[in-house]
Amino acid sequence: MAFPASWQYEGAGSGRSPLDAALAWVRERRADLEVALAREGAVLLRGLPLRGAGDFDAFVRVFERPNFAYRASLSNAVRIERSERVFTANEAPPDAEIRLHHELAQTPLFPATLFFFCENPAEEGGATPLCRSDRLFEALQREHPGFTRDCERHGLLYSLVMPPRDDAGSGQGRSWRSTFGTGERAAVEARMRRLGYRWEWLPGDCLRATTPVLPAVRGLPDGRKSFFNQLIATLGWTDARNEGGRRVCLGDGRPLDAEALGRASALAEQHCVDLDWQRGDVAWVDNLLVMHGRRSFRGTRSVLASLAG
């Protein structure tokens, strides 16, 4: 089966609303979709009559997976909640390319799967690149075995400076108040302490937070290994507060091999498939197996997301 696995909805007979008919069609195929997701890592459903956040929320609920609420996550990105389960995929400026990453791999808390819904495609660009991280890891292991061994053995430390207020001009602009759901420094520190973070309060009411050691490689149920991290994404983590790849190092404190990291980025692009959105598309992504990103674009683009177990 091609990557991503694809299904085309052709509509259903009368007697139900278009949305109810489509949800019934998806429900009947749920077991097959689950199998395809486990095998390929991503599933695309095209032609669905979904028109907004409410329809997308109803679609996600068909799969009966636990909701991974964005407001409870430690994501760096500014996003806008549209329903209990649905939020905008990213509020970064259109000219900013979001590099490949596994969702929330730079935090101790991450979802198992992601749903994306195209509410409105961009006039130009705006594709979502998808990359199988098991294949990337195999290719990188052949070219840079020492680098992959260090990543697997030592893990990673991520450090990020958070602003006091949301900065929608940065792909890493979520404020520490939004991230932790409080403006009380003591409560923020208490949660970071529980999660094993180190931190420092900086001038201008900014917060530098450094994660505990997190895996850079994760084993999959069938024995494959996934290059599960945000290393490639950190190359784009540059804004007024942060300087790209300098914000991540090996878990033992040593710097990363810059040449190997650059090669990882190039290999990931070679293994990418760009998902060019059409209105109503839904993509279901296995977050442990597949990286995703966002190409720059022109015009108004609205892709919504939902995180799940």
Let me know whether 48 and 124 are in one domain.
yes
Model pTM greater than 0.85? yes
More confident residue, 234 or 186: 186
Does 104 lie in the same domain as 158?
A: no
In the beta sheet, which residues pair with residue 159? 210
Closest to 245 (Cα-Cα) out of 226, 228, 264: 264
Beta strands in the chain, from DSSP E residues, in sequence order: 5-8, 42-46, 87-88, 98-101, 113-120, 124-125, 128-132, 156-162, 198-202, 206-210, 218-219, 225-226, 248-250, 272-275, 282-286, 290-294, 297-298, 302-308
Q: How confident is the model at residue 13 (pLDDT cuts 50, 70, 90)?
A: low
Range of the domain at 143: 134-267
Given a cut of 70, whether residue 1 has pLDDT beyond it is no
At residue 244, the pLDDT reads 64
**DSSP run (H or E) holding 114:** strand 113-120
Least reliable range by pLDDT among 40-44, 67-71, 164-168, 237-241:
237-241
**Is a pLDDT exceeding 80 seen at residue 14?**
no
pLDDT interval class at 245 (50, 70, 90): low
The answer to whether residues 172 and 103 belong to one domain is: no
What value does the mean pLDDT of the chain take? 93
Q: 256 and 277: one domain?
A: no
Are both 196 and 103 inside the same structural domain?
A: no
- Assess whether 259 and 287 both reside in one domain: no
CB-based contact 216:155 (threshold 8 Å): yes
Whether residues 111 and 157 fall in one domain: no
Flag whether pLDDT at 166 surpasses 70. yes
Structure tokens at 238: 């540059």
Tokens representing residue 262 in the block: 């650059």
Does 231 have pLDDT greater than 60? yes
In total, how many domains does the chain have?
2
Do residue 16 and residue 90 come from a single domain? yes
Assess whether 92 and 210 both reside in one domain: no
Regarding whether 167 and 98 lie in a shared domain, the answer is no
Q: Are residues 126 and 153 in the same domain?
A: no
Q: What is the mean pLDDT of residues 45-60?
A: 96
Backbone phi and psi for residue 102, each to the nearest 5 degrees, phi listed first: -95, 135
Query: What is the CATH number for 101?
Result: 3.60.130.10
Domain identity same for 170 and 251? yes
- pLDDT > 90 in the chain, percent: 81
